[in-house]
Amino acid sequence: MRKRMIDLRGDEEPILDIASFGRAPVPLTRRQLTQITLTVRRAPEVMVKVSGGARTIGGVEQHLTYIGRDGELGLRTDSGEVLGGEGVARAITAALHTDSGHPHVHVVLMARDIDGNRLNIRKADLRSWRVQFAENLRELGVTANATERAVRGLSRTRKKDDIYRAAQRQDSSHIRKRLSQLAKEVAQGEVTTEPGSHAVKQTWGAVVEGWKLVANKLRAAGDHEHADQIRSFLGSMPPPMTEKEQWMRSKPEAKSRQPGDSDRERTLQ
């Protein structure tokens, strides 16, 4: 029997559509104004991601043991039941981690229902869950926001988990390879432009223009406080640069250091 997919496809529109907010002929809604305020005040951003999946019962048990800290933490199920740190997977099992400096929850859920339909999580779903997550936290009194990186003026793309974690340990072969190539280009006087450089600057320009439209709209409506906050936010927004351009600007080592230097890992910070 062929397995059907459960399609959770959601809205593909941006979470915070600044350009549309500024051009729309109607006043901003309270919800839109709240998110704008959170963004310009740089409220903490929530994150939702899918880290992988286990294909065997042993793999599930191993992951439950990990998130339960080898039995030290209780695992909470979708029915409210609290299991020991090494429990049997339910439809949804979760554990709260607060020992790493950034509180987060690990959630393990069954990818198929009893009829064999497989859950298909799309990018739009993750964005929708981020928004809901931030809203629920705010209802509990926790300041939280959910927006795209671009609308905050951040142009550096997110890295895969293994690359990011290796970089945090200053042990990323991927980044060392890129820095080595950059050093060669600098030494030869032929630093190439990354393919995404034009798109980064184009996106940044559209975002800035959108924020200016919103600020003008608020000022015209007499809301000078929020308009001034946006202007201040724009003033502190980093310039549009690819990761390579950021290395060139912030790391003098990348301009003069040659491949093979023993302390090149220092450029990973």
Looking at the structure, do residues 25 and 102 belong to the same domain, yes or no?
yes
Residues 6+ apart with CB under 8 A from 201: 240
Range of the domain at 66: 5-152
CA distance 118 to 253: 49
Same structural domain, 74 and 102: yes
Residues 24 and 126 in one domain: yes
Q: For 34-57, write each residue's pLDDT tens digit.
A: 999 999 999 999 988 887 777 777
CA gyration radius, the chain: 23
Instruction: Give yes or no: residues 122 and 197 share one domain.
Output: no
Q: Where are the alpha helices (DSSP H) in 57-143?
A: 57-67, 123-139
19 with 121, same domain? Answer: yes
Tell me, yes or no, whether 92 and 27 share the same domain. Answer: yes
Say whether both 27 and 139 belong to one domain. yes
* Rounded-to-integer distance, Cα 44 and Cα 67, Å: 24
Please tell me whether residues 15 and 134 are part of one structural domain: yes
User: Is residue 34 within 8 Å of residue 146, measured between CB atoms?
Assistant: no
pLDDT along the chain (269 residues), means of 10: 38 72 86 93 90 77 80 77 61 81 83 78 87 93 92 72 57 71 72 77 90 94 95 91 72 43 31
Q: Could you give the number of structural domains in the chain?
A: 2
What spatial distance separates the first Cα and last Cα of the chain, rounded to whole Å?
51
134 & 169 share domain: no
In whole angstroms, what is the distance from residue 93 CA to residue 106 CA?
8
pLDDT for 162 equals: 58
The residue from 101, 123, 152 where one domain ends is 152
Q: What is the pLDDT of residue 93?
A: 82
How far apart CA 207 and CA 153 sit, in angstroms, is 7
Q: What does the pLDDT read at residue 124? A: 86
At which of 132, 152, 172 does a domain end?
152
Question: Residues 42, 127: one domain?
Answer: yes
**pTM of the full structure:** 0.68
- Whole-number pLDDT of residue 259: 34
Per-residue pLDDT at 223: 94
Domain final residue pick, 152, 181, 208: 152
In this structure, are 114 and 215 located in the same domain?
Answer: no
Look at residue 41 in the predicted model and tell me its pLDDT: 94
**Residue 171 confidence (pLDDT):** 62
Tens digits of per-residue pLDDT, 148-168? 888 998 876 665 555 555 555
Q: What is the pLDDT of residue 86?
A: 53
Q: What is the pLDDT of residue 34?
A: 92
Q: Specify the pLDDT at position 236.
A: 92
- Of the candidates 149, 182, 200, the one whose C-alpha atom is nearest the C-alpha of residue 259 is 182
Q: Could you tell me if 105 and 191 lie in one domain?
A: no
